[in-house]
Chains A and B, each alone.
Chain A
Amino acid sequence: MVPYLFLGFGGLLVATALMVILHRNPVTSALFLVLSLCSLAGIYLLLQAEFIGMVQIIVYAGAIMVLFLFVIMYLNLQHDVEHGAHIAWRRGIGWMVGALLLLFSALLFGRGWAVGPAAAVPPAAEGGNAAAIGRVLYSRFLFPFEVTSMLLLVAMVGAIVMTRGRRAPEEERA
């Protein structure tokens, strides 16, 4: 059962990820990205990582992509701009990234592809894997966890400062 589900989710993931970059309408692209994030969550579920699967949907599909859509709709981007000087830049960067990807995959496959263990690693049984993640996060990985939260706090303050804009000097003194 699990291999078939994996094929289904994996196929959906690849197909929708391709549609994200192939579709011309930005809103449709964003929706395909939501779908591909959801199928990724399905793969997490198959790996018995329920907590990560659900958080994937809540954070990426539910919060971040809604904001993406919000911005796309707010700016009313109908179609990609097809003219101007920056399109050449964009094409150039696209070719470069594509070439790098090809190079990496050639190197990877050239060294022989090792398939991981066939069976999924069983999760920590007691309390489900939410409890296991919490225990590890607050003991062994406490420092990186705290550093990440500081980073997010700085980003949040930065975002607020930027959206407030620069006020005129006389207004600031008042």
Chain B
Amino acid sequence: MNGLASLWAIPAVQVTAWALLKVVIILGVMLGVVSYLIYAERKICGHIQARTGPNRVGPLGLLQPIADVAKLLLKAEFTPASANKVIFHIAPILAVFPAIVTFSVIPMGPPPMFVVTDISVGLLLFLAMSSLGVYAITLAGWSSNNKYALLGGLRSSAQMISYELAMGLSTIPVLLRSGTLSLTGIVESQSGVWLVPGTRIPLPNWGVFHWYLVLPFLIFLVTSFAETNRAPFDLPEAEGELVAGFHTEYSSMKWALFFLGEYMNMIVICSITVTLFLGGWHGPGPAMLGIVWYLAKLFALLFVFIWVRWTFPRLRYDQLMGFGWKVLLPASVVNVLLASVWLYWRANG
């Protein structure tokens, strides 16, 4: 017992223990949120298509996610004979891993309680992990040894590389404003209220309420649809032409891991959007309400994601690549220029 107490006295041990506890809580909550996010998606999609959605299992169909998970766990596991076995098994793990790692730097409320660790390069960690996310899909497509899966994988790597550039550039004006790469620092730079010049209308000091961050916000939103492979950018799994795309050959829990990864990525990318552009945990009321504000903004954005998916048709592949390279990329470069000139002029002019 004495040994444990002396161990606890070391600051590094305390930090690690708290971080581990937070990680366990986040993982547990995430799994629950993801299963009910799928339920919400099916319900919303149902109502958008003038149906009711799942309503048989439990009241309002609320037990549907549990039934789904049980079904996925009990399903037969199938591996194609000519697949590259090792990579075929690794790919679904890689689909979930980046999303979980990114969650360690997202500030969900005022520090230090509601963030696992606040590192000085939090935003770069997010970009690094989203660039590693490509591997899951590419490798899944290749290792299945199936032409539809391969085509889906190749499409997705091309798509994600193209949209990552615009995504990275659209975060630069945010950095110019906050002067830090730490996500907690970025949220803190959005605190308070500002008055629209020449009027007495107060606005929250969130990124999106400044003119030079409106376009980056929209670009970030569009690229995040592409990064999470969701409609209207779900070309990697365009069922009309590619069967199910990269996960054609996957079944049971391995398929479920891809699904889990997609929804976790959605939550991560919405959290980053909230952090960068929507003021993170800031909102009226005491600081302890921070996590409530954060969750409210997060769920509103998730609703937008689902809404967009069931409203817009899928783009053609060459249109998608053309849009990324010829519209989004130049637009974000021009915006970086404008924002830097504006901020420099305001600071020195």
Contacts and interface: CB of A to CB of B under 8 A. Distances in A.
A54 B161 contact: no
Nearest to B158: A70
Given A51-B121, A128-B121, A69 B157 contact: yes
Contacts of B300: none
A11 interface: no
A66 B161 contact: yes
Contacts of A74: 154
Contacts of A57: 128, 131-132
B132 A54 contact: no
A55 interface: yes
B161 A63 contact: yes
A62 interface: yes
Contacts of B134: 62, 66
Interface in B94-134: 119-121, 124-125, 127-128, 131-132, 134
A66 B138 CA distance: 8
Given A73-B138, A74-B154, A62 B131 contact: yes
Contacts of A34: 135
A112 B12 CA distance: 37
A130 interface: yes
A51 B124 contact: yes
Contacts of B84: 25, 27
A27 B164 CA distance: 23
B124 A55 contact: yes
B16 to A, nearest CB: 10
Contact of A66 (B127, B131, B168): B131
A51 to B, nearest CB: 6
A31 interface: yes
A58 B138 contact: no
B153 A73 contact: yes
A109 to B, nearest CB: 36
User: Is the contact region of chain B dominated by helix, strand, or loop, or is it mixed?
Assistant: helix
A66 B128 contact: no
Contact of B135 (A58, A66, A129): A66
B98 to A, nearest CB: 10
Contact of A62 (B132, B139, B142, B154): B132
A67 interface: yes
Interface in A12-56: 25, 27-28, 31, 34, 50-51, 53-55
B296 interface: no
A165 interface: no
B125 A54 contact: yes
B180 interface: yes
A128 B139 CA distance: 35
Contacts of B158: 70
Nearest to A1: B12
Nearest to B119: A50
B157 A54 contact: no
A69 B132 contact: no
B121 A130 contact: yes
A67 B142 CA distance: 14
B337 to A, nearest CB: 15
Contacts of B196: none
Interface in B158-173: 158, 160-161, 164, 168
A51 B120 CA distance: 8
B34 interface: no
A74 B154 CA distance: 8
A149 B135 CA distance: 28
Interface string B69-99: 0000000000000001001000000000000
B180 A58 contact: no
B180 A128 contact: yes
Contacts of A67: 161
Given A50-B120, A61-B132, A62-B131, 10 more contacts: A1-B12, A25-B84, A51-B181, A57-B132, A58-B127, A66-B157, A66-B161, A69-B139, A73-B138, A73-B153
17 contacts: A25-B84, A31-B87, A50-B120, A50-B124, A51-B121, A54-B125, A62-B127, A62-B134, A62-B164, A66-B135, A66-B161, A69-B139, A70-B157, A73-B138, A74-B154, A128-B180, A130-B121
Interface of B: 12, 84, 87, 119-121, 124-125, 127-128, 131-132, 134-135, 138-139, 142, 150, 153-154, 157-158, 160-161, 164, 168, 179-182
